[in-house]
Structure 1
Amino acid sequence: MSITKTATGSERPRHRLLIVAAMNSAVAAACLLPMPLSAAPPSAERVSDDTAIRPFSVSIPDAALADLRRRIAATRWPTRELVADDTQGVRLATMQKLADYWANQYDWRKAEANLNRYPQFVTRIDGVDIHFIHVRSKHANALPVIITHGWPGSIIEQLKIIDRLTNPTAHGGTPADAFDVIIPSLPGYGFSGKPTELGWDPQRVARAWATLMDRLEYKSYVAQGGDWGDAVNEQMALQKPKGLLSIHTNMPGTLPDTISAALAGGPQPTGLTADEDYAWKQLDFFYKNRVGYATEMGARPQTLYGLDDSPIALAAWMIDHDPESQKLIDRVFGGASEGLTRDDILDNISLYWLTGTGLSSGRLFWESKLAFFAPKGVTLPVAVSAFPDEIYTAPESWSRKAFPNLIFYKRHDKGGHFAAWEQPQALVEDMREAFRPLRESR
């Protein structure tokens, strides 16, 4: 593992970029990156109470939406790629289709109304305002679950699973399958605050999430996530806060040392099963062809000024994050539906743009010193859902070695990086089955 020095002189593992997948008062009309407004501004007394939980709703000014459309229309387009595929990056035709729809047909107000269907709150934890959705089930003894998004995701990823989890009888389940759902926005993402000091790595986020669950007075709960959500949840499992029963992940850290060594330039792995070979080939492709975004955000996130200055630059950066992303985008903007719609994609990108978190979300890559896909020594009960179009499809064999207390594993035949977004029913059914035995121990 090669080591590089930061500007402060501390050592940071370069190979930690095994990380990421895909792997953050009213505003004047001239304001280019408005922040959302709360439904009812909290009183000074409540603001001074650092443990206060304040109601929140989303209301983006019209001027910000007009500015977004103006910037899209003013895009200075590059020349067309010189190849007939996406090997040079996100294709010009794809981005021009996206831009046309975004500027002329897309309606952010529908996304805003959808977000405001759910109870939202803000509370200050460790000096940062944390935004979260909190939906309680109508069913008694619902199991609380804190669900964490990743990059380039947001709380938009999980909206499709909220009712399935909290209202299971309307979605093929029973009252005994009910969850209370808590979905926070990571610091520097979405409607959460942007940290003004160093140190907000996955370990610190994990501690903040434990504080949030304690503040909500949950005595026992489970956690779910992929991408950064997995990194945070695995750290929670290592920290073992009081009340955490188990974690479920759709992008687990399971790489054997031989695979990690091969990705770093060591000997090619041998003796792999069919599932292991499939995962190895996915990882080999990713590190040879698609890890550049993570390398840049992990090393120089502040350089990415374009993410907060150009909506098209932001959109291209976000959709070029994993091996299947461009194919999915091409299909969706070509008129097909692959679990996601054009509005799904633009709801998420617009959230980053309207909150001005394109650059700030990248700082989590810089802060993290974790080898993202490597096992961390988690001994709590773990459940794994593996999807074929993820950055890599974790084999059951690797999962059992990485998690000695693996309580559930299921390999799916469709779905990708955004499991809750693309295959919400499949993910919810996995969560119900995985956590069902734990309900009896509460």
Structure 2
Amino acid sequence: MPVSDGNEVRPFTIDVADDVLADLRQRLADTRWPDEIPNTQWDYGTNLAYLEELVEYWRTGFDWRAQEAKLNNFSHFKSQVDGLDIHFIHERGKGPDPMPLIITHGWPSCFFEMTKIIPLLTDPASHGGDAADSFDVVAPSLPGFGFSDAARDRGMEVQRVAGMWNKLMTQNLGYPRFAAQGGDIGSGVTARLGFAHSDTLYGIHQTSITRPTPYLGEGSKPITEAEQAHIDQRAKWFQDEGGYNHIQGTKPQTLAYGLNDSPVGLAAWIVEKYRMWSDCGGDVEKRFTKDELLTIVTIYWVTQTISSSTRMYYENQHNLWVMEKDQKVPAPAGMALFPQEIAVPPREWGERSYDIRQWNYMPRGGHFAALEEPQLLAEEVREFFRPLREG
């Protein structure tokens, strides 16, 4: 592996200590359950009966070691970037000229979301595609998520992460140019890469448009009817579903005491989002197995990163990225918009801030696209970057 400025790329193996897992099982057994108004299902938040069922499986049936072994089938590494040890999967493409691609997750996701799509991108020929569309895939854990170090100072937001990812790819891993893809927080990171580091980017692909805020001042195009409907939908969604966003963006430390101490509280906080934000029709296990949900929650638990992960909401809200007049993200951009994503904007909204080369509305799927619909997303990513490859 290339090394630059002492930032060695070191192999990493996930190996959670036995006593951490024993403590988790004991905490699950000792849960003090709250009450619930009968027959309210998920109206007030995470349903008690479902969570009791999930937690009992977590305590007695879930095999972390089996999931850990599956995760370790991927090539994991760590490397120092701006003084933080960053964890990432790095899988080489199987094709004549793989394009380097960094894919970034969001919240309450983690690198695990990318494990289904990585093989489709690295080895397309084995999954119904063309070997010429292969990628070298780098799937990092955001700072303060999973096995990456958390910042010890203020200001770890998407713009800062984009600079770190550019260093990871060009300096630590030695790629002179690369592609970027992401959704949710990862979409903001990807957009910033395309804005601030377009000289090292082939292009960017996103599944949501979270940042930047487009310029809407004097001289901008009038808001269209479809754009106004999008703005109104987002406002209503934040009123109805945005409580998590408000507390994580204002008082994440207060929230952290409960979630870092109670695995059941942590599961309730995370699993509700997988139900609400996915294309599951109200049955979360139509989209995600118990093992998948609990692998995600367990990664947050054993790394104690729920505090640092939610803190990124505070940092993002205190470091807004608003475009100025005539500014655009210069890197070529592609968007794949899944119907159950938190917001599905019209193309003209995206064109205010991006150089849109591909814009497709997907037939199914939601917020966690790489985990829900890996084949659909992989095909979109291959198609978008195909004309941007050199030669």
TM-score normalized by the length of structure 2: 0.89
Distance of aligned partners of 1:379 and 1:295 in 2 relative to their CA distance in 1, 3 Å threshold:
same
> 1:320 Cα shift?
3.1
* Cα distance in structure 2, aligned partners of 1:256 and 1:323: 30
> 1:121 Cα shift?
0.7
1:214-225 aligned at under 5 Å gives the runs 214=170, 215-225=172-182
Residue in 1 that maps onto 2:258:
306
> 1:150 Cα shift?
0.6
* Cα distance in structure 1, aligned partners of 2:31 and 2:193: 42
* Cα distance in structure 2, aligned partners of 1:168 and 1:295: 41
Whether 1:380 and 2:331 are equivalent positions in the alignment is: yes
SS in 2 for 1:219: coil
2:293 aligned to which of 311, 331, 345: 345
1:251 aligned to which of 168, 183, 208: 208
Q: Deviations over 1:212-262 (max 9, x none)?
A: 00121112111000011011111111112542121100011377778xxxx
SS in 2 for 1:84: coil
Whether 1:172 and 2:128 are equivalent positions in the alignment is: yes
The one-letter amino acid paired with 1:438 is L
1:149-188 aligned at under 5 Å gives the runs 149-188=105-144
> 1:373 Cα shift?
10
Residue in 2 that maps onto 1:38:
none
Whether 1:409 and 2:359 are equivalent positions in the alignment is: yes
* Cα distance in structure 1, aligned partners of 2:261 and 2:37: 23
Query: Contact (CA 8 Å) 1:120, 1:131: kept in 2 or not?
Result: yes
- Supply the RMSD in Å over aligned alpha carbons: 2.6
Distance of aligned partners of 1:310 and 1:330 in 2 relative to their CA distance in 1, 3 Å threshold:
farther
Paired residues, number: 377
SS in 2 for 1:145: strand
Query: Contact (CA 8 Å) 1:286, 1:323: kept in 2 or not?
Result: no
SS in 2 for 1:319: helix
The one-letter amino acid paired with 1:88 is Y
Query: Contact (CA 8 Å) 2:121, 2:134: kept in 1 or not?
Result: yes
SS in 2 for 1:320: helix
The one-letter amino acid paired with 1:189 is F
The one-letter amino acid paired with 2:182 is G
Residue in 2 that maps onto 1:106:
62
Distance of aligned partners of 1:281 and 1:110 in 2 relative to their CA distance in 1, 3 Å threshold:
farther
More displaced stretch, 66-75 vs 79-88: 79-88
> 1:140 Cα shift?
2.3
SS in 1 for 2:283: helix
Residue in 1 that maps onto 2:340:
389
Gaps of 5+ in 1: 1-46, 259-268
* Cα distance in structure 1, aligned partners of 2:214 and 2:200: 30
The one-letter amino acid paired with 1:429 is E
Query: Contact (CA 8 Å) 1:385, 1:427: kept in 2 or not?
Result: yes
Percent of aligned pairs with the same amino acid: 40
1:8-407 aligned at under 5 Å gives the runs 50-81=6-37, 84-214=40-170, 215-240=172-197, 242-253=199-210, 272-273=225-226, 277=229, 279-280=230-231, 282-304=233-255, 305-321=257-273, 324-325=276-277, 328=280, 331-333=283-285, 337-338=286-287, 340-368=288-316, 369-371=318-320, 377-403=328-354, 405-407=355-357
* Cα distance in structure 1, aligned partners of 2:279 and 2:323: 27
Query: Contact (CA 8 Å) 2:328, 2:352: kept in 1 or not?
Result: no
Q: Deviations over 1:326-383 (max 9, x none)?
A: 88495245xxx32x21111111111000111111111111112355898973121100
Query: Contact (CA 8 Å) 2:277, 2:342: kept in 1 or not?
Result: no
* Cα distance in structure 2, aligned partners of 1:281 and 1:110: 45
Residue in 2 that maps onto 1:6:
none
* Cα distance in structure 2, aligned partners of 1:329 and 1:77: 27
TM-score normalized by the length of structure 1: 0.79
Distance of aligned partners of 1:358 and 1:160 in 2 relative to their CA distance in 1, 3 Å threshold:
same
